[in-house]
Amino acid sequence: MRKKIVTLVLGFLPFAGLSAVAKEHTIKQKNKQFSQKEIKLKVGESLKFTNEDNTTHHIMMKVDGKRISQKQVEGAAPIVQTFSKPQETTVRCAIHPKMMLKVTVEP
């Protein structure tokens, strides 16, 4: 019996300390457009915006009731935005008005 308990405990050790890791979705900006037109996320997940264009972009969106506005020059570090509440928002580029991404965050 003791051997079974030890085996059971040792079998779960690799999973100790693991926590749920929120998913990060990459959205590329290339040819003056987002890589997707719409995306669905779960609360706690993030969008990571990369600029693969040879021009500047300016991300704008409303998240959790707050306006987000961030410039992203060519080759800059990605912009990461986490969503903590269910919501719908549209991501736009202030410089290129035809760039739009519909984001739906579900519980």
13: in domain: no
Q: Is residue 62 in a domain?
A: yes
- Tens of pLDDT along 38-63? 999 999 999 999 999 999 999 999 99
Using the structure block, give the residue that is written with the tokens 């030890």.
6
> What total of structural domains would you count in the chain?
1
- pLDDT recorded at residue 20: 64
**Is the pLDDT assigned to residue 19 strictly greater than 90?**
no
Residue 107 structure tokens: 């519980």
User: In the prediction, which pLDDT does 2 show?
Assistant: 57
Strands 33-34 and 57-63: unpaired
pLDDT, residue 22, reads 79
Which secondary-structure segment (H or E) carries 49? strand 46-51
Residue 44 resides in a domain: yes
Residues 2-16 have a mean pLDDT of: 51
pLDDT at 21: 72
Q: Amino acid identity, residue 73?
A: V
Residue 49 lies in domain: 21-106
